[in-house]
Amino acid sequence: MPRRAILETSGYRVLQAASAEEAINTAQRYEQPIHLLLTDVVMPSMSGSHLASRIQALRSDVKVLFMSGYADETVFQHGDLEQGRLFLQKPFTPAALARKLREVLRT
């Protein structure tokens, strides 16, 4: 099941972006609150950390959940992501994604 469908089935409104630049543009234009950014750590044009910084500069209250297919120790050791950031290892089940989202939104 695609991530968007998982999220919508769990009751979340999803704004989907095909690139980091599109995500930033969406965050600038969208007039309602954005509660959470779910982003991959490694992307073609911009790292997930850089995207999160850019989005949080526009919307300081946005929480961020990072995901990656790389092992979490690899992501943290190579500096792609700071320790302490909320992280979900791919592949994950729909239930694991829903559980992690609830955890992030509660913090």
Between 5-9, 52-56, 73-77, 82-86, the lowest mean confidence (pLDDT) is in: 73-77
Q: Domain count of the chain?
A: 1
pTM over 0.75: yes
The CATH code of the domain that includes 84 is 3.40.50.2300
d(CA 95, CA 27) in angstroms, rounded, equals 27
Task: Name the region of 11 (left: φ>0; alpha: ψ -120 to 50; beta: rest).
Answer: left
The residue whose two tokens read 């099941």 is 1
Range of the domain at 24: 3-106
Average pLDDT across the chain, whole number: 86
pLDDT given at position 78:
45
DSSP, res 40: E
Residue 88, both tokens: 């979900």
